[in-house]
Amino acid sequence: MNYEVIIGIEIHLELKTQTKMFSAAAVSANAPANTCVSPTDIAIPGTLPLLNEEAVRLAVMTAYALNCEIDDLLRFDRKNYYYADLPKGYQITQQDYPLGKNGFVTIKDQGKVQNIRINRLHLEEDTAKLFHYETTTAIDFNRCGVPLIEIVSEPDMRSGEQAMAYVEKLRSILYYLGVSDCKMENGSLRCDINISLRPEGTMAFGNKVEVKNLNSIANIGKAVNAEVNRQTALLDSGTTVEQSTYRYDENSRQTILMRKKEGAVDYRYFPENNIPLIRLSKEFIEAAKAAIGELPDQRYQRYQNLGLNDYDSQQLVNNKALSDYFDEVCRYSDNYKSCCNWLLGDFSAYLAKELVEANATAIKPEALGELVALIDKQTISSKQAKEVFQEMLGGKMPQAIIAEKGLKQESDETKIIALLETVLNENPQSIQDYHQGKDRALGYLIGQVMKLSQGQANPAMVSALLKSALAQRKD
């Protein structure tokens, strides 16, 4: 039997704030354990939550960027459950009245554009972090109370590829907004996927399985495919898929059972009375909206308008630091394609080798723009530009390097003709070979001219003038 795959995704995103959601404790991913903690975080009796305004502002920006409807009346609820990572015994969240709802994200899957609907976007606090050892469990409260937004999609995805495209697009938007560092490997962006199967042509959903805490885009696709295979085998054998929670094991490439769910968990939600209702002013909302800036799709279209192709535009947009650097380079050269080629080629290779971001290199954008302009003016050849680029890694400007090394390209036609006449006179056999149709002869002669000029002759001029001279020497 053939089955249709139904996928919905929940994203938990840590917001980039200096302090926690409901306390003045600092937010720091690298601080020693239990050093960024306030009495409110660990639920000392008598402490009260105080809402972080910056977290609300970032959440409003996100909701607008994801095309959500905004609820300007902030209301919070308590989600009650007892676990070691939750010292209060409940989590402050927005169950009944999320900040944003009815949004969407546009993805491309196999060349087709598709909207993935977003059911809700709400604010809440993160939990503490547990470390399980052989005989004991340790707890770090630094993460407890860190501001989160949860983004819940509708079950609109039908494959692992679509799930990957959705999370990648969402992560790109969130990173461009600057609301989070979006590092999945560090837990700043955590992804839970709900997967179910149903016979093709039917409407009722099957029992869903949640695969939790996927830490990379690649693992999302692998986890979906592994879970689809597992559920398919069960259904084909006549076994019912049980509602349960799984994790993805990278070593076995299988989903592993964590716990079964008898039914929906009763979290006994009720309003958080320690946080009064807060009406967001129109000015606050509009200021948050105005701070959004250029989003990935808008930047992609701008690059298309500059004449870049689809691949180049997408490669730049996918790396915001590189894209920002490209925009700076283009202030010094209007040869956008050449600037892009340098950035996606030699420059990106250097970044990958040194494990640095574009804005952390010694090469200033104006230096790379100047290099492209010098090539366009035929001041230096493309080969010479490679040598200049290597020297630029030390922070020098191209003009200074060219003067220092004497790398200026020779484009004087009279001087080049003199060089190639010398070469032709010394290589009569190569002239004969050329006229007999041996293509390598031309390359050899060009190489001899370049050698005689110590690599400074304009290669394009050498080739054109040499062909003309050879035509005149045809018997």
List, for residues 184-220, the tens digit of each pLDDT value: 988 899 999 999 999 999 999 999 999 998 989 999 9
**pLDDT for 78:** 96
Is the per-residue pLDDT at 462 higher than 80?
no
Residues 6 or more apart whose Cβ sits within 8 Å of residue 400: none
- Summarize the confidence of residues 51-63 as an average pLDDT: 98
From CA 174, how far away is CA 160, in angstroms rounded? 21
The predicted model gives 435-444 an average pLDDT of 77
Rounded Cα distance, 237 and 234, in Å: 5
What would the mean pLDDT of 433-457 be, rounded to a whole number? 76
448 dihedral zone (left: phi>0; alpha: psi -120 to 50; beta): alpha
464 confidence band (pLDDT: 50, 70, 90) = confident
In the block, which residue shows the tokens 């191209």? Answer: 398
Question: pTM of the prediction?
Answer: 0.84
Each as own residue / partner, the long-range contacts of residues 33-37 (CB below 8 Å, 24 or more positions apart, any chain) are 33/138, 33/140, 33/142, 34/140, 34/141, 34/142, 35/142, 36/142, 37/141, 37/142, 37/144
pLDDT confidence of residue 18:
97
Q: Where are the beta strands (DSSP E) in 15-125?
A: 69-70, 73-74, 77-80, 90-93, 100-109, 112-125
Task: Please check the confidence at residue 58 and state whether its pLDDT lies above 70.
Answer: yes
Q: Where in the chain is the domain with CATH 1.10.10.410?
A: 413-472
pLDDT at residue 411 in the model = 66
Q: For the CA atoms of the chain, what is the radius of gyration?
A: 31
pLDDT of residue 266: 82
User: In this predicted structure, what is the pLDDT of residue 432?
Assistant: 75
Taking the alpha carbons at both ends of the chain, their separation in whole angstroms is: 76
Q: For residue range 143-195, what is the model confidence (pLDDT) as tens digits? A: 999 999 999 999 999 999 999 999 999 999 999 999 999 999 888 999 999 99
The pLDDT, as a whole number, for residue 263 is 60
| 72, 98 contact by CB (below 8 A) | no
What secondary structure letter does DSSP report for 323? H
> Residue 253: which residues within 8 A CB-CB, separation 6 or more?
222, 226
413-472 CATH: 1.10.10.410
Top pLDDT among 457 and 259 is at: 259
Q: What's the CA gap between 42 and 432, in Å, rounded?
A: 89
> Is the pLDDT confidence value at 409 over 70?
no
* pLDDT over 80 (residue 472): no
The tokens for 45 are 């009796």
Judge contact between 38 and 57, C-beta under 8 A. no
Q: Do 141 and 34 touch, CB atoms closer than 8 A?
A: yes
pLDDT at 443 (0 to 100): 77
Do residues 62 and 118 touch, judged by C-beta distance below 8 A? no
Dist. CA 459–CA 467, nearest whole Å? 12
Tokens of residue 276, six digits: 């009064």
Average pLDDT over residues 320-345: 95
Which residues on neighbouring strands pair with residue 237, listed in sequence order? none
345 pLDDT band, cuts 50/70/90, is: very high
Q: What is the pLDDT of residue 408?
A: 66
Cα–Cα distances in angstroms (integers) from residue 367 to residues 306, 389, 395, 396, in the given order = 21, 9, 9, 8
What is the chain's mean pLDDT, rounded?
Answer: 91
Q: For the residues 323-332, what does the mean pLDDT come to?
A: 96
How far is residue 270 CA from its own chain's centroid? 38
Mean pLDDT of 83-100: 94
Position 475 scores a pLDDT of: 59
Chain-centroid distance of CA 142 in Å reads: 27
* pLDDT the model gives residue 303: 97
CA–CA dist 426, 423 (Å, integer): 5
Give per-residue pLDDT as tens, 29-55: 889 999 999 999 999 999 999 999 999
Q: Which carries the bigger pLDDT value, residue 110 or residue 311?
A: 311
pLDDT of residue 281: 97
Note the helical H segments in 343-427.
348-354, 365-376, 382-392, 398-405, 413-426
What integer pLDDT is reported at residue 416 of this predicted model? Answer: 73
| Residue 287, SS3 per DSSP | helix
Q: What are the tokens at 437?
A: 């149709």
Answer yes or no: is pLDDT of 269 > 80. yes
Question: Which of 39-43, 111-115, 407-411, 468-472 comes out lowest in average pLDDT?
Answer: 407-411
